[in-house]
Every structure is written in structure tokens, then in C-alpha cells.
Amino acid sequence: MSATSPSRSEQVPLAESAPREARESAAPAWRRSPPRWHGVAEALIKTTALVAIVAIVLIFVFIAAETLPLFTSHEVRAEVTPSTMAWKQTWGEAAARWSWQPASEIPKYSIAPLIIGSLKITVVAVLVGAPLGILAAIFTSQVAPRWLREILKPTIELLAGIPSVVIGVFALLVMATWTHRLFGLEHRLNAVVAGCALSLTIIPLVFTLAEDALSSVPKSFADASLALGASKMHTVLHVMVPAALPGIAAGVVLGFGRALGETMIVVMASGNAALVSWSLGVSTRTITATIAQEMAEVVHGSPHYVVLFALGAVLLLFAFATNVLAMRIVESFRRKRGGS
């Protein structure tokens, strides 16, 4: 090689040394055309995102404004306060207790029966629906043959499109009778019936997120495990599932939030009795069912009206906390995986 010839690292590829005009003329027509719609598309995306953010903020503001009289209005506070909603009261009786009876002679606004009812039904729904969704996701993404996967995945996801009222009718007419005969529970409509019916709505959510998480795990993980002599099932349970754990955990948490906010199913299948009991065999009532059933009958601006919006604020905080928790879990798992 002569002293004047450039070294291999200094040689410029022919495509890069070609004139810019020649390279642009050789590009496809859609790349040579001026980006006339890029600005419009970008503006549309930004506008849509802004509208969504503004809508969420307005929902928070509206609920907060309607709840504010609970802290500022003397008329409302003469009948109900945050402390009377949270703690046991005597209500003119000998023993203090929690009670939700807003239409009685002495209105009672304890929210403890509603929170207990919401948690009971939601926990049952998650305990039933989350394992089924996760197991279905593992089988579909890791075990089932391709032809079966193409049948199972859309079929399970189709459950998300079933109206809640249809599931509620099924729970009311079929599941309630079946569980009452099988388990002999105290009430025909109870937290078990409502929770099992509610699990049908979270199975598709947990399944979709878990299946996507498992499918996104690099195939090299499984190949390396199999090359070291591990069995297929050992690889799935000890390699693929731990690698997909952030997505699976997020699906379970979001399923919890989905179940907590459901209305129609619990209205039809829970019995709607605001009882302070952790027993799963008795009728119960949730925050969402209370708002749905009583909001249409209250007088605007009355203490009952304000309390229902306070329940809405509590539910909104629960939903917000659930979403934040899901994001924290995903981030925590990712950090641990990155550190390891």
C-alpha cells in the first residue's frame, strides 16, 4: 500500500461519498416527498393527548368541588362529617357501630361497610381470576401449539367484550343458585357469587398483560436453559415466568383496580346489604353499587349528595393508587433485573 493511499478506516463508503442529491433521487418516492402531513399528524397527536389530560384533571376537579361542602358547609356538617363517616357512632343508641342508612330517621353515613364489601368482593375476584389468567397465559404462550394458540388467545380476550349486565344476569340466575347448593352459604347473593362473576371480567386483562409479557421475553433465554439440560416445564417456570414477572404483576394489580371499579355485576349479584362482616357467605354492598343506586334519588346539594361524591373521591383515590402501585411494581422489578 502506498503512502498516499488512505487507510481502511479512512476510506469512505461509496454510498456515503455519493452526492446528496443522487442519494435522495435514489430514495423511494414516499421518502422524497415533502412531509406535508407530518405537522398535522403531530399536532393531532398532541391535541388528543392534551384533551385526555384535561379531561382527567376536570374529573378530579369536579369530584373535589362536589365533595368540598363536607368540609366547608355548616348545613352538611350538621348532619355528617369526615369523622362520623370513618369512625363508629352511637346514632342515639347504646352501642357504637358502623352503619350505612342514609334514609333513616337519623341518617347514618358510615363508609366502613361499603369499603369492607368492596374489598371482600375484589379480593375474591382477584384470587379466582388472576391465577386462571396467568395459567392461561403461560399455557398459551409457552406450551400450546401454534394452531391452538391462535384459537385460545382471541377466545379469552373476547371475554372482555361481554357486557357486564350479561355477566350479572348469569351470576344472578345461575351462579348464585349453584354456589348456594354446593357450599350452603348463608345468603344466596353474597361476596362469593359477586367475586366469582367479577373474576370473568379480570381474566382477559390479566391474561393479555401476562401473555404479552411472556411473549416479549427473548427466545435466547429459553434456548440457553434448554441447552443446559433443563426440561421444558422447568424452563417455563424458572426462566420465562421470572423474566416476565413485571408484566404479570402489573396485570394482577390492574385487575384489582378493574374489579374494584365494577358496578353492574355487584349490583346484581352481591345482595346489596351494607353489613359490617368479613364473612364471604353474607350479602354485601360496594362503594360503586351505592353510588349507582342512590345518586339518582338524592337532592342536589344535600348531605347525602355530598357523601356520595365523597365516596366517588375515595374510589378515585383507590384507582389512582392502584395504577401508581402497578407502575412502581414494574419499575422495581426492572431495576432488580437490571442490577442483577
Which among 93, 67, 137, 116 is positioned nearest to 270, based on CA atoms?
116
pLDDT given at position 168: 93
For residue 5, pLDDT beyond 90: no
pLDDT value, residue 198: 94
Report the pLDDT averaged over residues 288-300: 91
Share of the chain above pLDDT 90, in %: 46
pLDDT band per the 50, 70, 90 thresholds, residue 39: confident
pLDDT score of 9 = 46
Domain residue spans in the chain? Answer: 38-87, 111-339
User: Does the predicted TM-score (pTM) go above 0.75?
Assistant: yes
pLDDT interval class at 322 (50, 70, 90):
confident
CATH assignment, 111-339: 1.10.3720.10
More confidently predicted of 20 and 236: 236
Report pLDDT for 8: 46
pLDDT in tens, 159-214: 888 999 999 999 999 999 998 888 888 889 999 999 999 999 999 999 999 999 89
Give pLDDT, residue 326. Answer: 80
Q: Does the structure show a pLDDT above 70 at 53? A: yes
Q: What pLDDT does residue 1 have?
A: 46
Q: What is the pLDDT of residues 138-153, one digit of tens each?
A: 999 988 899 999 999 9
33 sits in the region (left: phi over 0; alpha: psi -120 to 50; else beta) called beta
What residues pair up with 108 in beta bridges, in sequence order? 101
Q: What are 300's three cell numbers?
A: 342536589
CA-based nearest residue to 249, from 334, 318, 319, 139: 334
Whole-number Å distance between alpha carbons of 266 and 1 = 84
Q: What stretches of 107-227 show up as alpha helix (H) in DSSP?
A: 112-138, 146-157, 164-170, 176-183, 191-215, 219-227
The answer, yes or no, to whether residue 21 has pLDDT greater than 60, is no
Mean confidence (pLDDT) of the chain: 85
Instruction: Specify the pLDDT at position 303.
Output: 92
